[in-house]
Amino acid sequence: MTSQRTRERLIQRLYEQGVSNTQVLDTIRNIPRHLFLDEALSHHAYEDTALPIGHGQTLSQPYIVARMTEILIGAASQLNKVLEIGTGSGYQTAVLSQWVGELYSVERIKPLQDKARQRLRQLSINNVHLHYADGGFGWPEQGPFDAILSAAAPSCIPKELKHQLGPNGVLVIPVGDEKQVLTLVVRKDSTDEFYQQDIEPVKFVPLLQGMAR
């Protein structure tokens, strides 16, 4: 089930769905998604679906991981310092880590963060810094960031995230409650002006407040 052929089928599907950046597809091809799941579910790893990772959370669908990565890369002017909200299993973290200088990732559920840390270590990914906190406030001590990606949806965009963007920084975030839209925000130079674009309808877990155990 984790055979090369199964993985190739997934890559083909993502391509057909409109992920056009072949280098992003290569990253998806190279990161072993089955390592981010419990063994009982690992045979579903190369299907294009979100999968449960415990604590009511899900490992994002490969399509959305590829798409968000592609959008972020296309819109950002540099990717030296990037923030991710919602480490979850660490899968999107692993994908993004291949594209950025240093990746800062915030998670509010400690056991998920612990598991993600183990997996990233197992894959010898060393440019990721994990933080246990409410990511709705970003990671102010480490900002500003060239780009921010959120894997959880707030009802409306937290101003703290916009203000942790550096000059021309980009934020890719799902926004909304029942109806969510993947949204791209770009800071205009170093000003307090932000350009905003709706990308496509999506379905993410909500961005929750505070920290869980």
* 88 contacts ligand SAH (rule: CB under 6 A): yes
Output 76 or 85, the one with its CB closest to ligand SAH. Answer: 85
Site string for ligand SAH, 29-68 (x = CB under 6 A): ------------------------x---xxxx--------
- Which span (7-15, 41-49, 105-113, 157-165) binds ligand SAH, by CB under 6 A? 105-113
Please check whether residue 19 is in contact with residue 67, taking contact to mean a CB–CB distance below 8 angstroms.
yes
User: What is the β-pairing status of strands 145-150 and 165-176?
Assistant: parallel
Q: How far is CA 129 from CA 47, 101, 139, 149, in A?
A: 29, 11, 11, 15
* Largest Cα–Cα separation, the chain: 50
Report the nearest approach of ligand SAH to the CB of residue 194 (Å): 21
Contacts of 85 (CB under 8 A, 6+ apart): 105, 106, 135, 136, 138, 148, 149, 150, 151, 152, 161, 173, 207
Query: Which residue in the set 31, 71, 109, 161 belongs to the binding site for ligand SAH (CB under 6 A)?
Result: 109
* 106 contacts ligand SAH (rule: CB under 6 A): yes
Report the nearest approach of ligand SAH to the CB of residue 139 (Å): 10
Residue 81: other Cβ atoms inside 10 A: 18
Report the nearest approach of ligand SAH to the CB of residue 20 (Å): 21
Distance CA 59, CA 169 (A): 26
> Which DSSP state fits 187?
E
Indicate which residue of 42, 60, 97, 105 is catalytic: 60
Report the nearest approach of ligand SAH to the CB of residue 186 (Å): 22
Two structure tokens written together for 44:
């579903």
- Which residues between 67 and 86 bind ligand SAH (CB under 6 A)? 85-86
77 noted as active-site residue = no
* 107 contacts ligand SAH (rule: CB under 6 A): yes
Active site residues: 60
